[in-house]
Amino acid sequence: MFEDDLLRDKITTTEKEMKQVHFEDLQQQIEVTLERLSQIIEGPFDENKNRLRVIDLTVLANTSCRNMYDCIQNDLFSLLWLITHVITPYNSNGVQRVPESQNNVAQHM
């Protein structure tokens, strides 16, 4: 997205760089959170000691994923309004399919 010229005519170079930094920050936050969660789960697990940390990190990972989704959908794809992109809505309970009506609209544009 940032290396191609998709955004060239939509935003300035400075805006593109800011959006890329924001996106990469969100990506790094997800990676760090999941790495911390993995370390807890892979190590000797003391339920009394680690239970709340696992819950906290799981909530943080879910929030981070939601923020990444919002960034992609609202900050990046919204700039490409002439090119219809629809991503599956983020749901921490699993993947949802794009409604058929939106899928048909995207194919005809």
pLDDT in tens, 26-66: 999 999 999 999 998 888 878 778 888 999 999 999 999 99
Question: Could you tell me which of 92, 89, 88 has the C-alpha nearest to residue 58?
Answer: 92
pTM above 0.85, yes or no: no
Domain hosting residue 44, numbered range:
13-80
Number of compact structural domains in the chain: 1
Question: Could you tell me which of 88, 83, 90, 79 has the C-alpha nearest to residue 106?
Answer: 83
- Reading the block at residue 86, the tokens are 């629809």
Q: Is 30 within the bounds of a domain?
A: yes
H helical segments located in 1-109: 13-42, 47-70, 100-108
Q: Is 8 within the bounds of a domain?
A: no
Q: Is 7 within the bounds of a domain?
A: no
Is the CB of residue 80 less than 8 Å from the CB of residue 109?
Answer: no
